[in-house]
Structures are given as structure tokens and as C-alpha cells.
């Protein structure tokens, strides 16, 4: 590689150096924007009268939900459900629940050990009205 570089003439050598610098300048922002994905545990306490049929996760500023985390299970009134190894790509994650009527509740929880969300009857579900 060194021989190849030594054999290049002035203009060509400058072009190679400028191309390398350009590639580095483009790569640095892309690498710094990459978010590392961590896993967290989220406990959902259903202290409401609603049966929670589905739970989804998404980044806090996105409506691009991931797959249903309950896998066909439900969180009945008075029950607690723990999501182990929930994917988290930032400092927080949005947790979305859907009840038996197709209404949604949202909460943003910290991506820390033992994050929790308690759903109560005081919550105002989004039923698309």
C-alpha cells in the first residue's frame, strides 16, 4: 500500500488524501448517531378495571410500534405483568397498551432496571374519538 501511495504523482496523491478525508468526515456523524440497544425490565401493574390485551413498545418520539409483547396473553384487572429484556434504544421507551375495546393507553418509562407503569381507572384511554 505504501508503494502504491509513493508512486502516485502530486495531483493524484492529493485526490487520494481528499477522498480519504471525505469518507472519514461522512462516517463519523453516521457512527455517532447510531444508538446502542439495551434491554430493560418493565413491570406493568394493571390497577384498572380494563383487561389489557396487547402491549407494544416504541421509541418515545415515534408511532412505529414493535410487535405485541404479550404473545396472546392478557393482563387482567389486578394483575401484574413483567416484560423481561424489553428492547430500549435510548434513555426511555414508550409503552402502549390496548384494552379489550381497542382503546390505547401510553406511558414513557425510563430505560433503567425495574422500570414500572401502573395503569389506573383515572387514565384517559385513546379510543380514536
pLDDT tens digit sequence for 30-46: 444 445 667 889 999 99
Q: Look at residue 24 in the predicted model and tell me its pLDDT.
A: 65
The rounded distance, in Å, linking the Cα atoms of 75 and 81 is 7
Give the start-to-end residue ranges of the domains of the chain.
Answer: 2-33, 38-120
CA angle 113–114–117, rounded 5-degree value: 130
Which superfamily, per CATH, for 38-120?
Domain of unknown function DUF5300 (2.60.40.2890)
Q: Look at residue 10 in the predicted model and tell me its pLDDT.
A: 57
Q: Look at residue 46 in the predicted model and tell me its pLDDT.
A: 96
Regions of the chain where pLDDT drops below 50: 30-34
SS3 content of the chain, % helix, strand, coil (to 5): 25, 40, 40
Q: Look at residue 39 in the predicted model and tell me its pLDDT.
A: 83
Residue with cell 406493568: 44
Label the pairing between strands 115-120 and 38-47: parallel
Q: Look at residue 6 in the predicted model and tell me its pLDDT.
A: 57
Amino acid at each position: 500500500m505504501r508503494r502504491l501511495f509513493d508512486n502516485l504523482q502530486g495531483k493524484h496523491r492529493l485526490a487520494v488524501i481528499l477522498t480519504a478525508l471525505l469518507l472519514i468526515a461522512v462516517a463519523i456523524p453516521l457512527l455517532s448517531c447510531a444508538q446502542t440497544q439495551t434491554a430493560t425490565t418493565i413491570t406493568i401493574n394493571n390497577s384498572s378495571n380494563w383487561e389489557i390485551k396487547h402491549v407494544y413498545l416504541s421509541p418515545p418520539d415515534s408511532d412505529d410500534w414493535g410487535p405485541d409483547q404479550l404473545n396472546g396473553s392478557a393482563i387482567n384487572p389486578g394483575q401484574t405483568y413483567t416484560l423481561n429484556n424489553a428492547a430500549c434504544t435510548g434513555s426511555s421507551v414508550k409503552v402502549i397498551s390496548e384494552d379489550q375495546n381497542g382503546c390505547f393507553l401510553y406511558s414513557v418509562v425510563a430505560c433503567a432496571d425495574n422500570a414500572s407503569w401502573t395503569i389506573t381507572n383515572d387514565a384517559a384511554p385513546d379510543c380514536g374519538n
